[in-house]
Amino acid sequence: MFTFTIRRLTLAVPTLLFISLVIFLLLQLAPGDPMAQVPLTVPPEVKQKMREALGLGEPMHVQYLKWLRQFFWIEPLNLFDYMFGTGLAEGELRVISWQTRSPVVDIVVQRLPQTLWVVGMAYVVGILIALPIGIISAYKQYSMFDQVGTFVSMVGFSIPPFFSGVLVIVIFSVQLGWFPSIYDTTHVVNDWASFKVQLLQMFLPVMVLALQITAQISRFMRASMLDNLNQDYVRTARAKGARERVVVLVHVLRNSMIPVVTVIALGIPSIFGGAIITEQVFKVNGIGQLLITSIEANDLPMVQTLTFIFAILIVLFNLIADILYGVLDPRIRYD
Amino acid sequence: MTDKADIRTAARNQWWDVWDQFKTHKGALLGASVFLLIIIAVYLGPFVWPYDPQFIDYRSRNLSPSFAHPLGTDQLGRDQLARMLSGGQVSIIVGLSAMALSVVLGTLIGVLAGYFKRLDGPLMRLTDLFLALPLLPLILVASLLFREKLSAAFGPEGGIFILIVSLIGITSWMQTARIVRGDVLALKEREFVLAARSIGTPDRRMITRHVLPNVMSPIMVSATLGIATAIITESALSFLGFGFPPDFPTWGRLLNDSVDRMQIYPERVLWPGLAISLTVLSVNYMGDGLRDALDPRIRGR
């Protein structure tokens, strides 16, 4: 197991390097110029100097290596400095956003909590709803509950978040006025009333994201439970006189959770992708919205960093899913 | 004479078996008919409903639904029903062509990787790599980068069409490739492949005659489900403002346009959204039924 983990980790490094190269080369094709906003009265020589100060105009491989150094060495050093008050990264050029002229990572760090709150909450809520639904519809296969569950998850699968989001806004905030349609990130929670406001404004985006997650995971849970319910050990458990509750919720559930856990881990990166759209609908200023605005503003360093962060998430959670599978299921032997 | 008829029933095509099984799946049958209905409505509708979706009539803007305009008119007085129909044409043709591209790519890579042992490693690493790419961000970036060049080369509409179809196709072939490779690997061990090889069948004919027909069922299932994902991705792109230009309606674009005015005219959000969801739902049910019908273990039970 340990050697497998090490092997997968070492394989993840070239994968990430290659992905970063793909993203970098793609962005090299971009037609934008960071000096497009600079007034025309600035002479061209000065513009050229400004471009060089941003690290442009150098050969492509030099730019790429510089970006790698900035991202993997200088930014972590800055984080270290910030946490322990040291001055290791002083005087080093960080990855600078063309839009705001401040370090990209600082902006991402500002935006990340909103995304994590909404997305994380949605994922937790979605899983909490999905697991019981999956268990019951498998246990009572082809019952009314199962049929309805199948239909609802098919619908949840088919309605894209940009429609379900808009639909719940029209129903619950425009017609009924129960929830606000815009997520206010400046809202500070300090007492009961403000906590209630926070809860209300999180409700719609979280539910929209959770609907999709529930639809996927409850299907997996059902299939996995069905696989296990007909196994011999279930009959043995019943034969030795274990109560039905214990048989289903202890014996079968624990074995059925193995593939479901990996699916949950694998779904985390794609949920960040879904958050791009949900954030746009509910005007949450998280990293998804940051990505959209920086693509529109041609802010290439920001786009590059954000896309790469998404790539890191995907590779990381794939790795976690693989390792979890091996840890949870003793039948799986990687060596 | 009776002999002939007997032979005809005996040599029944296997696709009739598939159709028989498909018919028993009510959801799939309903999904297929709804999808067919949507396609017919969208492509034949404009002949029955003669309004021009681009015709701007300022005097009749923001009308609520009436007999003259069953879905009302938008802020420029364009007929919403006509716009929905022409938007549907674009959404569905984008979905179908993107699916075709992704299935062709996926099948090609899957068959090559499964059939030729030398190519297996590199091609599967490539597939893994594509699976690890953050696809939606990359599609967004790429749709902005190549927009101008393709628009200049093929005209604004054709260029964007090619752009979006190829972006969706290039980023969604991986699942098909994996499934096809697995099936080809299993097929290669079968006796009929060995027999065909022993009489000296060249690789090219092996693949087209013996391998491809036998992996048709997973390909068809993933093709059907691919239509749904392609339509959703195209609508998402249009919704985020990275898809087709504003005067060229698609369902996602219409949804995006109506979101700004949803407080006053909520019904305008409803129709394009419903159209997208209904199409995707019917396609998903169709795929579900097709999967059951093509599975020989279930068929004939």
* Amino acid A155: pLDDT: 86
Closest-approach residue (CA) in chain B for A308:
B134
- For CA atoms A10, A14, A17, A18, the dihedral sign is negative
The CA distance from B188 to B177, in Å, is: 16
Most A CBs within 10 Å, among B38, B239, B278, to test the A interface: B239
Contact B138 A170 (CB under 8 A): no
- DSSP letter assigned to residue A71: I
Residues of B in contact with A158 (CB under 8 A): 228, 277, 280-281, 284
Measured in angstroms, the CA of A45 and the nearest CA of chain B are apart by 27
3-state secondary structure of A96: strand
Mean pLDDT of A102-121: 85
Measured in angstroms, the CA of B136 and the nearest CA of chain A are apart by 6
Assigned domain for B87 exists = yes
Residues of A in contact with B274 (CB under 8 A): 163
Closest-approach residue (CA) in chain B for A17:
B129
Most B CBs within 10 Å, among A15, A18, A166, A298, to test the B interface: A166
Residue whose structure tokens are 């802010």: A299
**A39: alpha, beta or left? (left if phi > 0; alpha if psi -120 to 50):** beta
Kindly report, residue by residue over A44-88, the tens digit of the pLDDT: 788 777 777 766 667 777 888 888 888 887 777 777 777 777 766
The CA distance from B188 to B190, in Å, is: 6
3-state secondary structure of A103: strand
Q: Closest by alpha carbon to A181, among B263, B206, B23, B289?
A: B263
The CA distance from B107 to B177, in Å, is: 6
**A204 and B CB contact within 8 Å:** no
Cβ atoms of residues B40 and B47 within 8 Å:
no
The separation between the first and the last C-alpha atoms of chain B, rounded to the nearest angstrom, is 32
Assigned domain for A53 exists = no
Position A296 confidence tier, pLDDT thresholds 50, 70, 90: confident
**B144 and A CB contact within 8 Å:** yes
- DSSP letter assigned to residue B64: P
Residues of B in contact with A277 (CB under 8 A): 236, 239-240
**B250: alpha, beta or left? (left if phi > 0; alpha if psi -120 to 50):** beta
Q: Which long-range contacts (CB under 8 A, 24 or more apart) does A26-29 make?
A: A26/B138, A26/B141, A26/B142, A26/B145, A27/A300, A27/A303, A27/A304, A27/B141, A27/B145, A28/A60, A29/B145, A29/B146
Which residue from A166, A310, A313 is facing B259, i.e. has the nearest CB?
A166
Measured in angstroms, the CA of B60 and the nearest CA of chain A are apart by 25
Measured in angstroms, the CA of A18 and the nearest CA of chain B are apart by 9
The CA distance from A193 to A200, in Å, is: 11
The CA distance from A300 to A290, in Å, is: 12
Contact B141 A27 (CB under 8 A): yes
Cβ atoms of residues B236 and A160 within 8 Å:
yes
Residues of B in contact with A166 (CB under 8 A): 255, 259, 262, 269, 273
Assigned domain for B301 exists = no
- Residue A285: phi and psi, rounded to 5, are -90, 65
The torsion of the CA quartet A261, A262, A267, A268, rounded to 10 degrees, works out to 80
**A306 and B CB contact within 8 Å:** yes
Measured in angstroms, the CA of B210 and the nearest CA of chain A are apart by 33
**B236 and A CB contact within 8 Å:** yes
The packing angle between helices B216-239 and B156-170, to 10°, is 130
How many domains is chain A partitioned into structurally? 1
Residues contacting residue B264 through CB under 8 Å, at least 6 positions apart: none
Assigned domain for B191 exists = yes
User: Helix, strand, coil shares of chain B as percentages rounded to 5?
Assistant: 75, 0, 25
Contact A292 B148 (CB under 8 A): no
Residue whose structure tokens are 């979605």: A126
The CA distance from A27 to B90, in Å, is: 29
Token pair for B114: 């499964």
Cβ atoms of residues A26 and B142 within 8 Å:
yes
Residue whose structure tokens are 């090299």: A28
CB pairs under 8 A between A and B: 116
Best-predicted range by mean pLDDT (A197-206, A264-273, B100-109) = B100-109
* Amino acid B66: pLDDT: 72
**B194 and A CB contact within 8 Å:** no
Assigned domain for B207 exists = yes
Measured in angstroms, the CA of B134 and the nearest CA of chain A are apart by 5
Residues of A in contact with B281 (CB under 8 A): 154-155, 158-159
Position A33 confidence tier, pLDDT thresholds 50, 70, 90: low
* CA angle centred on A94, ends A93 and A97, rounded to 5°: 120
Residues of B in contact with A276 (CB under 8 A): 136-137, 140, 240
Q: What is the DSSP string of B270-299?
A: HHHHHHHHHHHHHHHHHHHHHHHHH-TTTT
Measured in angstroms, the CA of A165 and the nearest CA of chain B are apart by 10
Contact B133 A276 (CB under 8 A): no
The low-confidence residues of chain B, meaning pLDDT below 70, are 1-12, 60, 62-63, 67-68, 77, 296-301
Residues contacting residue A109 through CB under 8 Å, at least 6 positions apart: none
Assigned domain for A3 exists = no
CATH number, position A293: 1.10.3720.10
* CA angle centred on A142, ends A137 and A146, rounded to 5°: 35
Which residue from A157, A160, A307 is facing B134, i.e. has the nearest CB?
A307
The CA distance from B134 to A305, in Å, is: 12
Residues of B in contact with A280 (CB under 8 A): 239-240
* CA angle centred on B128, ends B127 and B129, rounded to 5°: 90
Position A102 confidence tier, pLDDT thresholds 50, 70, 90: confident
Position A333 confidence tier, pLDDT thresholds 50, 70, 90: low
- Residue B177: phi and psi, rounded to 5, are -60, -45
**B148 and A CB contact within 8 Å:** yes
Asked if residue A323 has pLDDT above 80, the reply is yes
Please return the burial class of A333, using the count of CB atoms within 10 Å of its CB with bins 0-12, 13-18 and 19+: exposed
Assigned domain for A51 exists = no
Contact A314 B239 (CB under 8 A): no
**B163 and A CB contact within 8 Å:** no
Asked if residue A330 has pLDDT above 80, the reply is no
- Residue B73 bridge partners (DSSP): B79
B26 or A35, which is more confident = B26
Most A CBs within 10 Å, among B125, B136, B268, B270, to test the A interface: B136
Position A286 confidence tier, pLDDT thresholds 50, 70, 90: confident
- Residue A96 bridge partners (DSSP): A103
Which residue from A23, A31, A273 is facing B136, i.e. has the nearest CB?
A273
Assigned domain for B13 exists = no
**B221 and A CB contact within 8 Å:** no
Provide the residue range defining the domain that includes A262: 107-328
Residues of A in contact with B257 (CB under 8 A): none
Which residue from B128, B136, B145 is facing A30, i.e. has the nearest CB?
B145
Contact A26 B277 (CB under 8 A): no
* CA angle centred on B121, ends B117 and B127, rounded to 5°: 125
Assigned domain for A46 exists = no
Kindly report, residue by residue over B150-178, the tens digit of the pLDDT: 888 887 778 888 888 999 999 999 989 99
Residue A321 CB neighbours (<10 A): 18
Q: Which long-range contacts (CB under 8 A, 24 or more apart) does A29-33 make?
A: A29/B145, A29/B146, A30/A298, A30/A300, A30/B141, A30/B144, A30/B145, A31/B145, A31/B148, A32/A298, A32/A300
Residues of A in contact with B252 (CB under 8 A): 162
The CA distance from A298 to B148, in Å, is: 14
Please return the burial class of A32, using the count of CB atoms within 10 Å of its CB with bins 0-12, 13-18 and 19+: middle
| A83-87, A234-238, A266-270, B37-41: least confidently modelled range | A83-87
Residue type, A309: I
For chain A, the C-alpha Rg in angstroms (whole number) is: 25
Cβ atoms of residues B160 and B243 within 8 Å:
yes
Token pair for B77: 């007085």
CATH number, position B247: 1.10.3720.10
The packing angle between helices A2-28 and A60-69, to 10°, is 130
**A41 and B CB contact within 8 Å:** no
* Amino acid A240: pLDDT: 92
**B142 and A CB contact within 8 Å:** yes
How many domains is chain B partitioned into structurally? 1
Mean pLDDT of A230-239: 89
Measured in angstroms, the CA of B61 and the nearest CA of chain A are apart by 22
Provide the residue range defining the domain that includes B96: 32-40+80-294
Assigned domain for A297 exists = yes
User: Helix, strand, coil shares of chain A as percentages rounded to 5?
Assistant: 75, 0, 25
